[in-house]
Amino acid sequence: MKAASSLLAVLLFGAVFAGIVGGYGERESVSALAEQYLAMVPRELGAPNVVTGILITYRGFDTLGEVAVLFMVAAGVGVLLGGKDTTTASEPGREPRRPSELVGNGAEITLPLIFLFGAYVIKNGHLSAGGGFQGGAVVASGTMLLMLALPATKLNHGFLGVTESLAGVVYVGIGILGLVFAAGFLDSHILPLGEFGTLISAGAIPVISALLGVKVGAELSVIIDRFRN
Amino acid sequence: MGLPVSTLLMTTGFLLVLIGMWGILRHRNILRIIIGFGLFDTGLHIVMVATGYITGGTAPIIDTALGIEQATTRAVDPVPSALVVTAIVIGFSVTAIMLAFAIRIHDARKTLSIDALTESKW
């Protein structure tokens, strides 16, 4: 009975989705808003990557909100899981299992490359595919591998918390500077645009990108570490 | 040329949504329900990105392959891509909170079956 009703629900949704796909004609041109963005981001912001320009400048307030959500998740996971490290850590017979040779040796070779790649993705967010969130996630995946390969590693939560808070404060500070020296909150024109397509260009976008990367990387690492205990 | 790219992407995304929905409805293990949610979420992201595709479009990144004056005619719509980043972050956040609750439930009940949680039914 239950299986039949679940099947019915899934099939009905499937029919709705099939109708959507069947009635969808692939677009031949972008919308007026997208055309505006595609023309304005390279000219006015000096950033070759249009998506990063939208995310960090035109929708900068939204990105600030996303970072706030991540912060609240880190705090919430800390509240839910944080209170019990002392009880589980002292239990005997709960030694973490040693990782296999493959994971251990592989991590030694790939870990520096993963962190380097994360930094590269963060710093090239305005030039090519990438940005603070993506690079931060790459760095956090490196942290995950570190925990799998060396289960005894202790993350310094105090240091990560201070780093992350500082990045957040500087991010909001840059936003307020935009309010004073440029057109509005989080406007990236507070720094000169520089030469189009070079590493140091596009105003404040690379700075904000780096701050986002640091913040996201630290937050995700803390969340992953909370789940370990 | 076969099917348009956006149709293929939307079909894949909606299939993932349906698989995730089936997992949420039919499984009793909380971890499997969370995995179902993850599939649901990913499927919707694929659908959202697919709606931004224009025929023959390329990534909205200005470089040697895409000149600054061609950007408005040859690039795909960047708005859905920018919105999907938000959706991914929110999906990650919800998943992390759900997993944390699952760990607490396992601590309290020593089981991950949602059949053990009956007193909250009404």
Complex confidence, ipTM: 0.80
Residues on chain B touching A131 (C-beta within 8 angstroms) = 85
In whole angstroms, give the CA distance from residue A69 to residue A64.
9
Yes or no, beta carbons of A38 and B71 under 8 Å apart: yes
Restricting to A residues 138-177, those with a Cβ less than 8 Å away from any Cβ of B are: none
- The pLDDT score that the predictor gives to residue B3 is 78
Is B101 in the A-facing interface, judged by CB distances under 8 Å? yes
Residues on chain B touching A224 (C-beta within 8 angstroms) = none
Tokens of B13: 């995304």
Residue with tokens 């944390």: B100
A129: nearest CA in chain B? B61
Topology (CATH level 3) of domain B5-59+68-116: Helix Hairpins (1.10.287)
A32-40 vs B78-109: helix axis angle to the nearest 10? Answer: 100
Mean pLDDT by 10-residue block, N- to C-terminus, for chain A (229 residues)?
A: 85 90 81 81 78 84 88 87 58 65 85 91 82 87 86 80 86 83 75 73 81 88 82
Q: Measured between CB atoms, which of B10, B78, B89 is closest to A70? A: B89
In whole angstroms, give the CA distance from residue B63 to residue B57.
14
Contact, A154 vs A222, CB < 8 A?
no
| Residue A186 CB partners (closer than 8 Å, separation 6+) | A56, A57, A60, A61, A64, A174, A175, A178, A208
Is B60 in the A-facing interface, judged by CB distances under 8 Å? yes
Chain A / chain B CB contacts < 8 angstroms: 141
Q: Mind listing the pLDDT tens digit for each residue in B48-107?
A: 988 888 887 778 887 777 777 777 777 788 888 888 988 998 999 999 999 988 888 888
Environment class of residue A92 by beta-carbon count within 10 Å: exposed (0-12), middle (13-18) or buried (19+)? exposed
| Residue A193 CB partners (closer than 8 Å, separation 6+) | A45, A46, A201, A202, A203
Give me the numbers of helices (H) and strands (E) for chain A, helices first please: 9, 0
Is A103 in the B-facing interface, judged by CB distances under 8 Å? no
- The pLDDT score that the predictor gives to residue B94 is 92
Tokens of B111: 């089981």
Domain ranges of chain B: 5-59+68-116
User: Any bridge partners for residue B113, and if so which?
Assistant: B29
User: Any bridge partners for residue A49, and if so which?
Assistant: B61
- Mean residue pLDDT of chain B comes to 85
- pLDDT tier for residue B13 given thresholds of 50, 70 and 90: very high
In whole angstroms, give the CA distance from residue B77 to residue A54.
12
- The pLDDT score that the predictor gives to residue A90 is 47
> Which of B89, B94, B114 best tests the A interface by mutation, with the highest count of A CBs <10 A?
B89
Residues on chain A touching B9 (C-beta within 8 angstroms) = none
In whole angstroms, give the CA distance from residue B73 to residue A29.
7
Domain ranges of chain A: 59-81+97-229
User: Any bridge partners for residue B75, and if so which?
Assistant: B58
Indicate the helix (H) or strand (E) that contains B42.
Answer: helix B30-50
- pLDDT tier for residue B14 given thresholds of 50, 70 and 90: very high
Shortest distance between the Cα of B52 and any Cα of chain A, in A, equals 8
- The pLDDT score that the predictor gives to residue B56 is 78
Q: Measured between CB atoms, which of A21, A29, A55 is closest to B85? A: A55
Q: Measured between CB atoms, which of B21, B54, B103 is closest to A27? A: B54
Shortest distance between the Cα of B72 and any Cα of chain A, in A, equals 5
Q: Measured between CB atoms, which of B6, B11, B79 is closest to A26? A: B6
Residues on chain A touching B63 (C-beta within 8 angstroms) = 48, 128, 197
Residues on chain B touching A127 (C-beta within 8 angstroms) = 61
Q: What is the dihedral of CA B40, B42, B48, B50, to 10 degrees?
A: -120
